[in-house]
Amino acid sequence: MESRAEQPPGRDWRDTVRDGADLALVGILTVLASAPVLTAGAAIGTASAAVHDWLATGSWPTARQIISRFGRGLLPGVPATLLGLAAVGLLATNLTALATGRVPGGGVGLAVTVVVAAALLGYAAAIVVEVGRTGGTGWPAAVSRAARACLDHPATCAALAGTSLVAVLLGVLVTPVAVPILAGYALAAVHAVARRRPLTRAELS
């Protein structure tokens, strides 16, 4: 079946509005399902799988499929959630300490930390995409697949980092009530970037 990117022209403004509303709903539901914190891994994995299905087939999974995926992803998603929170907390602490001058390093240290944070954002986005490709579960395997993808296609990883960084900056700038809506669009954006990776020499030959 053709992906959304490969479908012939003929879509009108109503399709665009419907897609926008669907992605907004995905973001809102993901944020609500992540509210207990420990469920964030399952919520993000389930949302990523739904976006992957939408881009690949043009249709969303059924409510039963979504609930089933969320249930299967609850326990496997807890370690991913805890690791993600620890990484975010550590980077935020380092950035704050460098920006306020509480630790040595100055502008150079701050710039290096920002670059590292952006690279980790790209890697995290690649992991989320890989989890979505396997139905919202399989975080350990997704970590290794994302690492290989970033090593094989550094330009795609850099694009994922840039896309994620823009999403974070928008999340800081927009009104808090719009952040859940932005989450759905950000998820679709990283999936779209990952799908458009450049071909390797072996694939071209």
- What does the pLDDT read at residue 199? 41
Residue 75 vs residue 3, higher pLDDT: 75
Give the tens place of pLDDT for each residue, 83-108: 999 988 988 888 888 777 777 766 77
Q: Which amino acid appears at position 181 of this protein?
A: I
Q: What end-to-end distance do the CA atoms of the chain give, in Å?
A: 25
pTM across the whole model: 0.84
Three-point CA angle 133, 177, 47, nearest 5°: 10
Tell me which residue has tokens 């030959």.
205
- Cβ neighbours of residue 85 under 8 Å, at least 6 residues apart? 37
Residue 13 vs residue 132, higher pLDDT: 132
Give the tens place of pLDDT for each residue, 104-139: 766 777 788 888 888 899 999 999 999 999 998 889
Beta carbons of 131 and 138 less than 8 angstroms apart = yes
**Which whole-number Å values give the CA distances from 70 to 24, 28, 37, 49, in the listed order?**
19, 15, 14, 10
Six token digits for residue 169: 């900056």
pLDDT exceeds cutoff 80 at 26: yes
SS3 of 187, please?
A: helix
CB neighbours (10 Å) of residue 154? Answer: 12
